[in-house]
Structure 1
Amino acid sequence: MPLTPLASDFYGFEAKLRPHEQDALAALRDWLDAEVRPVVDEAWERAEFPHQLLPAFHRHPVFGMQWEETAAFENSALYRGWVALELARVDASIATYVGVQNGLAMGAIGVAGSPEQRAEWLPPMARGEVLGAFGLTEPLSGSDSAQGLRTVARRDGDDWILDGEKRWIGNATFADVVVIWAKSAEDGQVKGFLVRTDAPGWSATKIERKQSLRIVQNADIRMEGVRVPESMRLQRANSFRDTAAVLRLTRAEVAWAAVGNSIGAYEAALRYAGERVQFGKPIASHQLVQDLLARMLGNITASIAMCTRVSEMLDEGVQADEHAALAKAYATSRMRETVAWAREAMGGNGIVLDYGAARAFADAEALYSYEGTREMNTLIVGRAVTGTAAFV
């Protein structure tokens, strides 16, 4: 299936994808437009996850593409970035589901699991037979997770006993297994555990009344004496550095998702501008509306350029924390501007789901904050350029 370039890819960055990657992206785009786009507004309004989409979704080359156990074909970080963009262009919550299942949960196993754990878990997770989540953030610990984790793991013979709470854990209400990061009572280091959600002492409660990413099923998790065998401890997760290695892989893809959310809002505004008639002509012919559209397109184009280079650096093996951090901070900041301008171009209709900008406008706030706030990411960049840490 040939890939029709997005008009919002103004400088043609999609052409950097290899032909087989373009074909896979075209098939994904066609499926998203046909099957996902028609249901997301209602799902967002009801704060429900469209589980009926998952069997077909997991047949697309999206999940596990960075691991040899599950890669459907040879692919690049640039392709995986465009997948994140394409998903968020249709719905940022669906992109977040993939970010959790594929990037965080499978990523933790891929980065920190033993060869045996990778072989056991990654293939069924890629097929959607096992759904996962990633439990790092806590009610009292977000940006300070490196030092502030309160969830404790205590060794008890061949098992570990976990006690603590987690918050904002996406997919956790329906996940089969959750990667839980806890501080060891033995050595004080952060370790990772694969915890089955039917374990005694485990509970996950959906967070209600959200106004952003409403389709994502975030949960508060409570663990009271949850027993986990040593075989379910991620064997190569021995400190927070290993946790950070997982986040490093996913942070750049959040930047790509921010670009996708921007594009979704921009495309909706562009369509609206061509259809909405005021003073006897489409508002697309008004100078102020064209100015808003040009500003949106400039933000999108600059962000694609930055994300493209960051993904190329990952493929080249030279991407560092600060590179992904700058892309995430920049792309999400420009996204915030872009979705606001898209809503502005629609006037009052911009706050109604039917016109395409309202959902992107609301969802932008969550993308702006998760996987490291703008402030935390700028501190990572600041440490790199000055040689001095200023986190506290």
Structure 2
Amino acid sequence: MSATTAEQTRLYAVADWYDAEALLTIEERQVLARLREFLDREAGPLLADFWERGEFPEQLAQPLIGLNLMEPFEAPARGIYQGFRIFELARTDASLATWYTAQAGLFRTAIRVGASPEQQREWMPKVIDFSLKGVFSLTEPESGSDIAGGLATTAHRRSDGSWVLNGAKRWIGGAATADVLAVFARDVADGQVKAFLVDRKSDGVTLDKIHGKTSLRMMQNAHITLDGVRVPEAMRLHHVNSFRDVAAMLRAMRSDVAWIAAGIQAGAFEAALRYITERTQFGRPLGSFQLVQEKLARMLGNVTASLSLVVRLTEQQAKGIYRDQDSALAKMQTSLFMRDTVALAREVVGGNGITLASDVARFHADAEAVYSYEGTHDINALIIGRALTGESAFTR
């Protein structure tokens, strides 16, 4: 879609029933239109093959970076634009959205929240133009939902001021192509969590690709082993001194995943809608059957409700309102809607819904990973429950 067309035609005329896109400026829609044109032309034809092979289409990385999506305007990009950027990527493919937000969301947030002003001045421009590529390395083999208390990777400060890291991280997407790993470790001296930018090629760093995945197959997730890895004090994120600081990052990043969940629904819904308008059964268009129309209406309701949640959350965050329970509610509910939407999409496409040719199968499988990461349903529900009742039901 050309920029001129973007000014005249809504990008999300079908999936965005209540026109949340109206909150975007013409300039923002133009950037998103360029992104969509690239995704349709360059990414779309590759997705089924690379998903089946379990490989990331690396030929898309530099052209995608070259679109200058992170900060395309003279003024800082607005939150609503950033949300729709995620939405556009996810409605094409969840792995592409996860890959891009690993840099633009997780790693950038680690620097924005955790780095000192001096560190930010040095690193942030490189994060924005991808000349410093990084990944967020928090989850461990034995600790996911209980990472706050279960984080076992250790950091020991030497007499010369440098640090030595030992431990392991797991499910770290994009680690194999990153320059640095933002590693969270527990300081053996005070028991508090610290964060470090670790050169991926440092002695003692070992990366192993996680095989056998049935979801987000294109995204390359790694198991990382840290064995006596030396890190200078200058590469420690100076504003991360407890898990409370890590929680502030998670609070900001969880909304990105809610946008991904909304985008996956839009992609699955649109793919199903295309299919039923082309398919005939019993001598009639598939879309003419009552039960099919009922499922389409439910899918649209889920997408619309999800967009409403993430748009309102983003508006609140733009005002500086960041609450754990708000991002937890958005992640929890959009993920529930997502599971329902992709299941309905697969159902209306019938047997062809389990083949990659329809696109629905890819969304259906990838939704399971998004349902779990950045806070499972149960964990987010407990965060909300704690805010509602004032009582923590987390296991002690």
* TM-score, normalised with respect to structure 2: 0.95
Give the letter aligned to residue 263 of structure 1. A
Counterpart residue number, 1:145: 147
Whether 1:272 aligns to 2:257 is no
| Counterpart residue number, 1:261 | 264
Q: Which amino acid aligns with 2:195?
A: G
Report what 1:385 is aligned to. Answer: 388
- Report how far residue 73 of structure 1 moved: 3.6
Paired residue for 2:81?
79
Please name the residue that 1:57 is paired with. 64
SS in 2 for 1:259: helix
SS in 2 for 1:219: strand
Equivalent position of 2:303 in the other structure = 300
Distance in 2 (CA, whole Å) between partners of 1:336 and 1:346 is: 16
What displacement does 1:318 show?
1.9
Which residue in 2 is equivalent to 1:114? Answer: 116
Per-residue deviation, 1:116: 2.5
CA deviation profile, 1:185-205 (whole Å, cap 9, x unmatched): 011000000000110010010
* Aligned alpha-carbon RMSD (Å): 1.3
Counterpart Cα distance in 2 of 1:51 and 1:18 = 31
8 Å contact kept, 1:77–1:311? yes
**1:48 aligned partner:** 55
Give the Cα separation in 1 of the matches to 2:187 and 2:47.
41
Q: Is the contact between residue 68 and residue 129 of structure 2 (CA under 8 Å) also seen in structure 1?
A: no
Give % identity.
50
Aligned to 1:37: 44
1:1-392 aligned at under 5 Å gives the runs 1=3, 2-3=5-6, 4-5=9-10, 6=12, 7-63=14-70, 65=71, 73-156=75-158, 157-392=160-395
Please, what TM-score do these two structures have when normalized by structure 1? 0.96
After TM superposition, the structure 1 stretch with the greater mean CA deviation from structure 2, 277-286 or 109-118, is: 109-118
The answer to whether the 8 A contact 2:31-2:69 is kept is: no
After superposing on structure 2, the runs of 4+ consecutive aligned residues of structure 1 that deviate more than 3 Å are 70-74
The 1:316–1:205 alpha-carbon spacing in structure 2 relative to 1, beyond 3 Å, is same
Deviation string, structure 1 residues 4-42 (Cα, Å, up to 9, x no partner): 321111111100112222222222122211111121111
The answer to whether the Cα contact below 8 Å between 2:152 and 2:167 also exists between their aligned partners in 1 is: yes
User: Distance in 2 between the 1:226 and 1:271 partners?
Assistant: 52
> 2:298 is aligned with what amino acid?
R
| Unpaired stretches in structure 2, ≥5 consecutive residues | none
Range that drifts further, 115-124 or 328-337: 115-124
1:11–1:280: structure 2 CA closer, same or farther, 3 Å change rule? Answer: same
Segments of structure 1 that go 5 or more residues without pairing to the other structure are: none
| Count of residues paired in the alignment | 387
SS at structure 1 position matched to 2:177:
coil
| Contact persistence 1:82–1:256 (CA under 8 A) | yes
